[in-house]
């Protein structure tokens, strides 16, 4: 395809030295007398859909037209009740700004680990809410979080729960899980049947099944272990890797079923 060069003598050559820009500025002046494009921020907010329509009509400009605020990645909201303490948010955080801290569950009154977010470090990438398998950590349209102290930038799970209770528009985007997701596989000879994985599994998708105790050959010593083996229910598993982290023998690993 031939490259169309911009015309060497464009039609916008100066008339009367500066008549064109002066006229353009005057036209813009006349236009903005009705309503300038600026949004008077604390009083007018683009996240308000009604205001968006009004301002677009009043200004005759596509102000805020493109903005879909539901998708906005702002301050997180955490539903403590549905959090399963899977650590995935903390794992996925590229800035390591999420810490899992123990808070009492609203219903059961038992302690459970929930994410605490340091907004001084957070980059609002959304990886944590993408990773959350239960959809309990989502991002909201809230973007005002100035604080006078650094400690105030650390949002405890309770504070994130408060944000949740405000019923702000939540980011509706949920990522589909990849179809060929790796599963937890067991390196069977290493396992000692200690139940640590099943105990700590946040979704209780690991069950310890009995395995037959082999009869030792003469001269062979049976390993000292419990004769059970974990079996992972892949459809319930959220792939958090907690079992791998707690396994004392490092016998669990990621892999695909062949």
In whole angstroms, what is the distance from residue 192 CA to residue 247 CA? 10
Is-contact 258 199, C-beta < 8 A? no
Given candidates 53, 57, 58, 71, which one binds other proteins under the rule CB under 8 A? 71
Give the position of tokens 């009869």.
215
Piece in contact with other proteins (CB under 8 A), picked from 75-83, 148-156, 192-200, 234-242: 234-242
Residue 220 sits in the site that holds other proteins (CB under 8 A): no
Q: Is 55 helix (H, G, I), strand (E, B) or coil?
A: helix
Q: Which one of 126-134, 188-196, 205-213, 216-224 is the stretch in contact with other proteins (CB under 8 A)?
A: 126-134
Residues 41-60 that bind other proteins (CB under 8 A): none
Tell whether residue 14 is a contact of other proteins (CB under 8 A).
yes
Q: Is 5 in the site for other proteins (CB under 8 A)?
A: yes
Among 115, 171, 230, 237, binds other proteins (CB under 8 A): 171
Q: How far apart, in whole angstroms, are the C-alpha atoms of residue 134 and residue 174? A: 10
Is 189 a binder of other proteins (CB under 8 A)?
Answer: no
Which phi and psi (to 5°) does residue 107 adopt? -95, -55
Comparing CA positions, the residue from 69, 78, 72, 71 lying closest to residue 138 is 78
Q: Is 135 one of the binding residues for other proteins (CB under 8 A)? A: no
How many residues of this chain bind other proteins (CB under 8 A)? 79
| CB-side neighbour CA atoms (13 Å) of 219 | 0
* Interacting residue with other proteins among 40, 146, 212, 218 (CB under 8 A): 40
| Residue of 45, 49, 54, 92 interacting with other proteins (CB under 8 A) | 92
Residue 93: name the closest of 68, 51, 121 by CA.
121
Interacting residue with other proteins among 109, 151, 167, 178 (CB under 8 A) = 178
């Amino acid at each position: 395809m031939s490259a169309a060069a911009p015309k060497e003598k464009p039609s916008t050559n100066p008339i009367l030295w500066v008549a064109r820009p002066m006229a353009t500025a005057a036209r813009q002046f006349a236009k903005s007398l009705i309503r300038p494009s600026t949004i008077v921020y604390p009083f007018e907010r683009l996240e308000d859909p009604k205001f968006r329509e009004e301002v677009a009509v009043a200004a005759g400009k596509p102000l805020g037209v493109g903005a879909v605020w539901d998708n906005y990645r702002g301050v997180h909201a955490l539903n403590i009740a549905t959090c399963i303490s899977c650590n995935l948010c903390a794992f996925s955080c590229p800035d390591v700004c999420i810490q899992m801290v123990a808070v009492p569950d609203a219903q059961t009154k038992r302690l459970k680990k929930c994410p605490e977010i340091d907004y001084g470090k957070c980059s609002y990438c959304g990886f944590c809410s993408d990773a959350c398998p239960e959809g309990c950590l989502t991002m909201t349209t809230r973007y005002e979080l100035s604080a006078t102290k650094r400690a105030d930038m650390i949002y405890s799970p309770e504070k994130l729960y408060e944000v949740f209770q405000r019923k702000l528009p939540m980011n509706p985007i949920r990522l589909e899980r990849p179809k060929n997701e790796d599963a937890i596989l067991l390196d069977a000879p290493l396992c000692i049947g200690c139940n640590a994985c099943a105990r700590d599994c946040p979704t209780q998708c690991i069950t310890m099944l009995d395995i037959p105790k082999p009869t030792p050959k003469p001269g062979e010593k049976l390993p000292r272990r419990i004769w059970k083996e974990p079996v992972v229910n892949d459809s319930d598993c959220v792939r958090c890797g907690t079992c791998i982290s707690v396994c004392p023998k490092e016998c669990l690993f990621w892999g695909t079923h062949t």
